[in-house]
Amino acid sequence: MGVSPQATGQADAELVRRIRLGEREAFGELVRRYQDGIYTLCLRWLGDSAVAEEIAQDTFVAAYRAMDRFRGEAKLSTWLYSIAINRCKNRLDHDKRRARERHESLDVDPDRVRELTSKGPKTDSRTHRSEAMRLLQAALDELEAPFRTVVVLRDIQDMAYEEIAALLDLPIGTVKSRIHRARLDLARLLAGKIGPEDVLD
């Protein structure tokens, strides 16, 4: 799931080398290697499977076009996640702007206004394999974006604190405190709704 444990830096470097030589199949391998991780990030950030798929696809197309600019200073995974994160941010900003414009054009319809200005992304029921998953996404939707981002990168993508700090250009202390606060908020939101049985393999 996500980044393969075998996807070492060396393997990534070899993949990049082949891609730069014009081997399209090598890029196909890269997509296979990172598609779950990128899609998960987009889905957990945006909350809508169709939009997440669109953004994840955009991420890979953008990466393909920019491959000549990848200098290998960061890990390939970090570079890909940074592209995905930028695209997710842009999408949310775009949606917020549209919601604001529509809000301004509404005369009086409090229910509609509430719907358009709710804090997080909409939870998409099609993506949930279980009730626990639905509850988790609903809780993630409640988090502010900066907290949702770090906790997803840490707990789902298994990124190290240092890697997250580099990716988001944040001090490591900020990353730690955001992860802590995000988990506390999630725990509060999920309190009484999930138990140890939900996390058993």
Partner 1 sequence: MDRFFARNRLSALVDGELPTNEAREVERAIARNPDLAAEHAALVLTKKLMKKEGAVPAPRGFHARVMTQLASEPPTGSQIAWLRAYLSRIPMEAAVLAAAAVVIGIVIQQRQPPVEAELAKASPSVMAPTKRAKKAKRAAKAKAKAAVVDPTIASLPDNTRSQGAVVPVSGPGTQPQANVPTGRVGYRFLGRGDEVLYEIGTLADQVGGRLVNENGETYRAHSLSEIRNFVRAFLVFPTNQAGTVHTKLRRQSGQVPHQIQGATPTVLADESVVLIEVER
Least distance in angstroms from the C-beta of 11 to partner 1: 18
**Alpha-helical regions (H) of the chain:** 9-20, 24-46, 49-65, 76-105, 110-117, 131-142, 145-151, 161-168, 172-190
Q: Which two tokens stand for residue 128?
A: 């949930």
Query: Could you identify the residue written with the tokens 């358009």?
Result: 116
Least distance in angstroms from the C-beta of 56 to partner 1: 7
Q: Which residues bind partner 1 (CB under 8 A)?
A: 1-2, 19-22, 24, 27-28, 31-32, 35-40, 43-44, 49, 53, 56-57, 60-61, 64-69, 127, 129-130, 132-133, 136, 151-152, 154-156, 161, 176-177, 179-180, 183-184, 186-187, 190-191, 194-196, 198-199, 201
Least distance in angstroms from the C-beta of 57 to partner 1: 5
Would you say 99 or 132 has its CB closer to partner 1?
132
Query: Could you identify the residue written with the tokens 């802590």?
Result: 180
Q: Whole-angstrom Cα distance, residue 152 to residue 155?
A: 5
Least distance in angstroms from the C-beta of 16 to partner 1: 10
Q: How far apart are the first and last CA of the chain?
A: 15
